[in-house]
């Protein structure tokens, strides 16, 4: 029996050099994809999608894996509700992968940070995936370093800045 998912899941995709734009176009055309954007870091693309259950997410992952230009991907299924604070409209955005000793407490703390737009509790090598927005890169990284890193229980973070060229 498929397990139910809540909210939007995130999949990070690594593609062959020179294929980011083409892969983004392909991914954005898929029916479950709500957002696909290029990111910096060990991945090239972040895909947010609404999947009813784990089987639907696995089907999507299989489709992504079969794309000849995809080198690897990492999925973060939506096990807890996203928190959404409206559209970002900011110049600087990033995905923040967070490892913590207390997921519920950290999610509660993240909800108090105005720059955090979306939060998901997940499984895997990160406990939380958050989308963060600010008016400048400096404000974005200051928020991460001063507000998120300073939260009790946060063990580590990985920041994947987005860019809007594509």
What's the predicted TM-score (pTM) here?
Answer: 0.75
Distances (CA, A) of 1 to 44, 53, 56, 76, 81: 33, 10, 12, 20, 21
Q: Which domain holds residue 159?
A: 92-163
The answer as to whether 85 is a domain residue is no
Are 9 and 49 in contact by the 8 Å Cβ rule? The answer is yes
Which of 76, 104, 128 corresponds to the end of one domain? 76
Predicted confidence at residue 86, as pLDDT, reads 45
Distance (Å, rounded) from C-alpha 73 to C-alpha 63? 12
Q: Pick the last residue of a domain from 45, 76, 107.
A: 76
Rounded CA-CA distance 141/151 in Å is: 15
Residue 100 lies in a domain: yes
pLDDT tens per residue across span 114-124: 999 999 888 88
pLDDT in tens, 29-83: 999 999 999 998 889 999 988 888 888 888 999 999 999 899 998 888 877 654 5
Mean pLDDT across 125-129: 92
Q: How many CB atoms lie within 10 A of CB 83?
A: 16
* Whether 30 and 70 share a structural domain: yes
Which of 28, 47, 76 is the last residue before a domain boundary?
Answer: 76
């Amino acid at each position: 029996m498929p397990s139910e998912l809540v909210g939007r899941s995130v999949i990070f995709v690594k593609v062959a050099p020179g294929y980011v734009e083409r892969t983004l176009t392909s991914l954005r055309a898929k029916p479950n994809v709500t957002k696909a954007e290029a990111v910096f870091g060990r991945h090239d693309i972040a895909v947010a999608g609404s999947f009813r259950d784990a089987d639907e997410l696995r089907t999507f992952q299989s489709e992504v894996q079969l794309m000849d230009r995809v080198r690897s991907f990492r999925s973060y299924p939506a096990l807890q509700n996203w928190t959404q604070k409206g559209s970002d409209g900011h110049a600087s955005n990033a995905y923040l992968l967070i490892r913590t000793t207390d997921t519920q407490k950290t999610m509660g703390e993240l909800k108090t940070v105005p720059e955090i737009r979306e939060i998901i509790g997940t499984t895997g090598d990160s406990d939380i995936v958050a989308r963060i927005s600010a008016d400048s890169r400096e404000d974005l990284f200051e928020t991460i370093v001063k507000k998120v890193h300073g939260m009790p229980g946060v063990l580590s973070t990985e920041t994947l800045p987005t860019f809007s060229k594509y």
